[in-house]
Structure 1
Amino acid sequence: MSYFVIVAGEPSGDILGSELIKALKKDYPEHRFEGIAGPEMIKSGCVPWYHVSDLSVMGIFGVLRHLPRILGIRKKLLKKISEDPPDAFIGIDYPDFNLGIEKKLKQKNIKTIHMVAPSFWAWREGRIRTIKKSVDLLLCLFPFEEELLKKHSVNTKFIGHPLAHSIAEENDMLKARRDLGIDAKTLITIMPGSRKAEINQHLDTLYEAAELIDQQSNKNNFGKIQFIVPTLFSEIEEKLKFTKPKLFEKFNFIQDSTKAISASDLVITKSGTSTLQAALHKKPMVVVYKMSNATYYFLKIFNLVKIKYAALPNILFDEEIIPELIQGNFTAKNVHQESINWLSNHERKSKLTKKFENMHKELASKSISQSVSVIIELIGPIKNTQ
């Protein structure tokens, strides 16, 4: 059998790790997995040295506060690996932690696999050099990443995107609305973000935009209009309730983002994975993003951002197929206007749907199970003894 050390640093990595473990165990059930795992990886058979929550910190200050503990985990992890070297180390996402470990292990001739390419194409392009020095095999989620990395002689395999497999190609909007008990003619999902800083930057402007859309709903023949916000934070609901009580009556607050997107006619979302989620549901969207002025000017001055677009669908198509309202362009008036443009132009929506259908097929054309053969090829013949 083969022995793998596998490390996930976030809940999303735990899900990917679980799928990879199950895929590897399907043909080789005797494989052994140990490392840093969450509940899904543990259920799939990984023996945890640490829990994924031990590494889950957010923001630069969160990292600095927990740095001694994280460095301690890293040191113990490397010591444990040196005492019992695995056939391969698999780092899932979490590049600032995993790539450093992978570099050290590769120098010791331990095979290294990294799953989920760092966003080198967006910023910190120099990480390609780090990847080359650290990784024997990179498993990426987007086809353009495979193409770019192979140009830099990085051994890369596109394995599809898990969201493309978890979201049905045919979206049943009416069923989603029935499940939510919503009978509005027009339903708009608003996604301000999941982090406090994002919510603070986006929420007020998005509520103002919703008010403008609602005020002109009859004029634009949108009929009964409602809004839905998928969130885990009660403060988002409370803020609207006390600042705009009349508008609050038009809002629904739920936890299930998938159901909210599926039920909607339009998604207004901050830039991030939610844009891909909306695209896979074939939804028109308006993408927004605002950061602090200090951060924005720092990135601009040092030319740290290398991409033309912020939204994943635009990056994938290399054209602006959905509007992006970034920084100073993110105003209630602009969000309102872009929303009206989508809701009133059925031909434009139909063309977008076709593009998203093709994108969905491409991202679902590969799966994690197809990574098994390249992993086995990398580590060599399967051992028969422990």
Structure 2
Amino acid sequence: MEQWVLISAGEASGDLHAANLVRALKRENPDLAFFGIGGARLKAERVDLIADVTPLASVGPFEGIPTYERLIRVFYQLLKETKKRKPYAAVLIDYPEFNMRLAPRLKRLGIRVFYYIVPQVWAWRSHRVATLANFTDMALCVLPFEESWLRRRRVNAHFVGHPLLDVVPNPHTLSAAKSEFAPDDRPLVALLPGSRRHEVKRLLPLMLESAQRLSKKVSASFCISCAASVPKRLFASSPYPVTDKTYRLLAAADCAIITSGTATLEAALLLCPSVVVYRVSTPTFLLLYWLLHTRTYALCNIAAGEPVAEELLQYRATPNRIAKAVLRLLDERLRRDKIEALKRLKQRLGSAGVANRAASLILKHLNK
């Protein structure tokens, strides 16, 4: 007899990690069936999707305003379907603005709730930890310090490792060569302008101008990574080649200019030194500056506990500053030091098999 499990994932990265978790849960219990929200990867795992919300992803409360009406409709549609199917459990993956509102509603329906890739309540809006403590059965943490931080605040937290360890290949197994992305053996700089349309529109011009400034100081090649979630037409005016082989590009590159977010960890796992840049609307920046408990924004630096990448955010993210930061990374001695720091970060994040460990913890708790 099928046992329904609700899955709620919003962004492209959450969709990927949710799909890997669903696959692991199915291996351990083939009787489980899944429904919820997500994207193409969850659909490929035969999850019955109520809606695909991955195109609606945004960063910041003001950037997300145009999508709110549709997300509210999806929220209540999902609740309606949940009451109809009466799931065995619910697994919420990242996507905090949606899932932290969903968790209390599910718990009040008597559903056991598991949160995988918990919100960064240690960084900002820490009052939300009460939602995790009161309305989730288990929090599955992906950063090494989260478990103890959350447990001190009455959350049943377990560190399972970062799910990118199941996704990003070992850089030594990638036979990526610069010749794939550049015409000669000049230093190769990867440009990763983001996985959301509004990020690319805001940050790609900045990265292109930074590349042009850098070209005046050093002879280098550039290649742009285009995420699957971003229309290729946004890169039509680029003077540099564009690729969807992000991991191979990062493995081949000497360094990268990267949009703040999960990509900073992907570059770290591929031992590619990077400069992290980001810009949001001024109201969002002022709000985040006021609410954040940390002055480190890049996920790679937060996870490492040390500055493994230089951060240039908002008004500091200028073409000149970015070009100078990249120029420093092209110095062989500094580059070697950064790579050693990235190796230390990789060890802190755990080991492969993250989805399997998460699935085992969930099923063990459900079978109590």
After TM superposition, the score normalised by the length of structure 2 is 0.87
User: Residues 5-55 of structure 1: CA distance to partner in whole angstroms, max 9, x if unpaired?
Assistant: 22222333332222122212212212222333434333334333x132488
Distance 1:292 1:309, change over 3 A: same
Cα distance in 2 for residues equivalent to 1:274 and 1:67? 26
Q: CA deviation at 1:136?
A: 1.0
Distance 1:259 1:110, change over 3 A: same
Cα distance in 2 for residues equivalent to 1:200 and 1:79? 36
Q: Secondary structure at the match of 1:210?
A: helix
Distance 1:198 1:163, change over 3 A: same
Cα distance in 1 for residues equivalent to 2:5 and 2:18? 12
Cα distance in 1 for residues equivalent to 2:269 and 2:42? 26
User: Residues 89-108 of structure 1: CA distance to partner in whole angstroms, max 9, x if unpaired?
Assistant: 11222222222222122234
Distance 1:287 1:85, change over 3 A: same
2:220 matches 1:225? yes
Q: Which has the larger radius of gyration?
A: 1
The residue number in structure 1 matching 2:320 is 333
2:104 matches 1:103? yes
| Within-5 A mapping of 1:204-219 | 204-217=205-218
2:361 matches 1:374? yes
| Within-5 A mapping of 1:44-83 | 44-48=45-49, 50-53=50-53, 56-58=56-58, 60=61, 64-83=65-84
Cα distance in 2 for residues equivalent to 1:39 and 1:270? 23
Cα distance in 2 for residues equivalent to 1:22 and 1:114? 17
Q: Is the 8 A contact 1:111 1:378 kept in 2?
A: no
Distance 1:332 1:54, change over 3 A: closer
> Partner amino acid for 1:274?
A
2:139 matches 1:138? yes
> Partner amino acid for 2:274?
M
Q: CA deviation at 1:174?
A: 6.3
Distance 1:333 1:81, change over 3 A: closer
Distance 1:184 1:306, change over 3 A: same
Cα distance in 2 for residues equivalent to 1:338 and 1:39? 37
User: Residues 250-274 of structure 1: CA distance to partner in whole angstroms, max 9, x if unpaired?
Assistant: x322233223222210101221122
Distance 1:297 1:13, change over 3 A: closer
The residue number in structure 1 matching 2:329 is 342
Cα distance in 1 for residues equivalent to 2:74 and 2:280? 32
Q: CA deviation at 1:56?
A: 3.4
Q: Is the 8 A contact 1:165 1:364 kept in 2?
A: no
> Partner amino acid for 1:112?
V
The residue number in structure 1 matching 2:343 is 357
The residue number in structure 2 matching 1:220 is none
Unmatched runs of 5 consecutive residues or more in structure 1: 218-223, 241-247, 382-386
2:242 matches 1:256? no
Distance 1:155 1:51, change over 3 A: same
Q: CA deviation at 1:117?
A: 0.9
The residue number in structure 2 matching 1:124 is 125
Distance 1:355 1:33, change over 3 A: same
Q: Secondary structure at the match of 1:229?
A: strand
Q: Alignment RMSD, CA only? A: 2.7
Of 67-76 and 19-28, deviating more is: 67-76
Of 8-17 and 166-175, deviating more is: 166-175
Cα distance in 1 for residues equivalent to 2:198 and 2:80? 37
Q: CA deviation at 1:307?
A: 1.3
| Within-5 A mapping of 1:184-223 | 184-217=185-218
Cα distance in 1 for residues equivalent to 2:200 and 2:156? 38
Q: Is the 8 A contact 1:99 1:134 kept in 2?
A: no
| Within-5 A mapping of 1:259-270 | 259-270=248-259
The residue number in structure 2 matching 1:297 is 286
The residue number in structure 2 matching 1:31 is 32
User: Residues 281-322 of structure 1: CA distance to partner in whole angstroms, max 9, x if unpaired?
Assistant: 11111112223334333444xx21221211112111222232
Of 132-141 and 287-296, deviating more is: 287-296
> Partner amino acid for 1:296?
F
> Partner amino acid for 2:366?
I
Q: Is the 8 A contact 1:55 1:70 kept in 2?
A: no
2:266 matches 1:277? yes
Aligned residues: 361
Cα distance in 1 for residues equivalent to 2:335 and 2:262? 21
Q: Is the 8 A contact 2:176 2:249 kept in 1?
A: no
2:328 matches 1:324? no
The residue number in structure 2 matching 1:90 is 91
> Partner amino acid for 1:7?
S
The residue number in structure 2 matching 1:288 is 277
Of 100-109 and 72-81, deviating more is: 72-81
Distance 1:332 1:172, change over 3 A: farther
Unmatched runs of 5 consecutive residues or more in structure 2: none
Q: Secondary structure at the match of 1:32?
A: strand
Distance 1:88 1:185, change over 3 A: same
Q: Is the 8 A contact 2:304 2:348 kept in 1?
A: no
